[in-house]
A = this chain, B = another copy of it.
Amino acid sequence: MTDNSANRVVVLICTPLEAEFVERIASFDPDRVEVRYRADLVPTPHFVADHHGEPGWKRTPEGEAEWRAMAADAEILWDVPEGNDVPVLEQCPNVRWIQTTSAGVGPMIREKGLADTDIIVTTSSGIHATPLAEFVFAALLYNIKIIPQLLAWQQQKSWERYCAGELRGQTLTLVGPGRIGSEVARLAKALGMRVVAVGATPPGQRQPNPDFDVYVDYSGIDEALGQGDCVVLACPLTAQTDGLVGRRQIDAMKPGVALVNIARGAVIDEEAMIEALQTGHIGFAALDVFQVEPLPETSPLWSMPNVLVNPHSASTAWAENERITDIFVANLAHYLKGQYDQMSPILDKQRGY
């Protein structure tokens, strides 16, 4: 028997994970990897693939002591620990790699004091592309097929024949042409839409995407927004996209535009957006993200008839933890061989995505 203890790495699972996926990770290379998971020391999930549980959740003092003992020599973290005001690096001074369960983690990693370290951060960027793109078209079709009107007629038992619009032939302006945005564009093309994409990278420097009829960088955003019958915000939150869609950009949009925000609330001027929804300049908005979350009870967005509020859950899907486990296990194989540059998708901690 070989003593591998010197080589052994400790994986600490920091947020809720189903037993079958914990097992899968634990059985990957039991000689070299020790997996630690205590369901009673992480938040209680409220739904499939919930990683956060009750806001403000904390461990008991005894639980906290056990947690700190488990965390002390952890080298790999599945997600960033919840329920602890102690800095991550103080809880886990030996951490070298963090696998997050979300994609847009740039701001959080900075906030946790991890942006200027050598710790590898792999995200789950990509796995949310399918559920988010499906949500985008659920929302756009809900609007174009006047389902709110159908529901009102149905409640009145009123048989009203009508004529609805079609997404086919419309222009979709996509802000943020990453993994999620590319899936939105692919479905838009399948539906016969024209896609105008806007991103951070100058046109000459990015690989062409055949699903983009037009691509411009953020310097051309006003004109691009003006072309969209539908506008989808799907960019990461960075210094450049914070407030990217301000009052002037909203004014530049087509009257009656349908807006979907699956990016972050701070990407758009929420006050200006609310005003435009009140006048009807923005005809419809489906919002998964907000300036402040949970959305305060006092927000007018809750009761606007042309707004669909989604409580920041459009990215979740039943199959989510299975897909993150796929990413994690593939990355673990590279990590154990020291092939750090093969790990993917790696967060550029300075760029923020």
Question: Residues on A close to B: CB < 8 A?
Answer: 46-50, 52, 130-131, 134-135, 137-138, 141-142, 144-145, 147, 150-151, 153-154, 157, 159-169, 186-187, 190-192, 293-295, 297, 302-303, 307-314, 316-320
By the criterion CB–CB under 8 Å, are A130 and B311 in contact? Answer: no
Chain B residues with CB under 8 Å of A130's CB are 166, 168, 192
Chain B residues with CB under 8 Å of A186's CB are 190
Distance A308 CA – B169 CA, assembled complex (angstroms): 26
By the criterion CB–CB under 8 Å, are B317 and A165 in contact? Answer: yes
Which residue of B150, B164, B167, B168 contacts A309 across the interface (Cβ within 8 Å)? B150
Which of the listed residues A131, A147, A163, A309 has the most CB atoms from chain B within 10 Å of its own CB? A163
By the criterion CB–CB under 8 Å, are A313 and B162 in contact? Answer: yes
By the criterion CB–CB under 8 Å, are A164 and B313 in contact? Answer: yes
Known: A137-B137, A141-B141, A161-B313. 20 other contacts (CB 8 A): A50-B161, A52-B161, A130-B168, A131-B164, A134-B145, A134-B167, A138-B142, A138-B145, A138-B147, A141-B142, A150-B308, A150-B309, A151-B151, A154-B308, A159-B294, A162-B311, A164-B314, A164-B316, A187-B190, A190-B190
Chain B residues with CB under 8 Å of A190's CB are 186-187, 190-191
Distance A138 CA – B154 CA, assembled complex (angstroms): 17
By the criterion CB–CB under 8 Å, are B191 and A47 in contact? Answer: no
Distance A164 CA – B311 CA, assembled complex (angstroms): 12
Q: A134-B144, A141-B141, A318-B165 are in contact. Are A154 and B309 (CB under 8 A)?
A: yes
By the criterion CB–CB under 8 Å, are A131 and B48 in contact? Answer: no
By the criterion CB–CB under 8 Å, are B309 and A163 in contact? Answer: no
By the criterion CB–CB under 8 Å, are A47 and B161 in contact? Answer: yes
Q: A46-B161, A162-B316 are in contact. Are A310 and B150 (CB under 8 A)?
A: yes
Distance A49 CA – B163 CA, assembled complex (angstroms): 7
By the criterion CB–CB under 8 Å, are A297 and B135 in contact? Answer: no
By the criterion CB–CB under 8 Å, are A166 and B318 in contact? Answer: yes
Which residue of B145, B157, B164, B313 contacts A297 across the interface (Cβ within 8 Å)? B157
Distance A204 CA – B297 CA, assembled complex (angstroms): 61
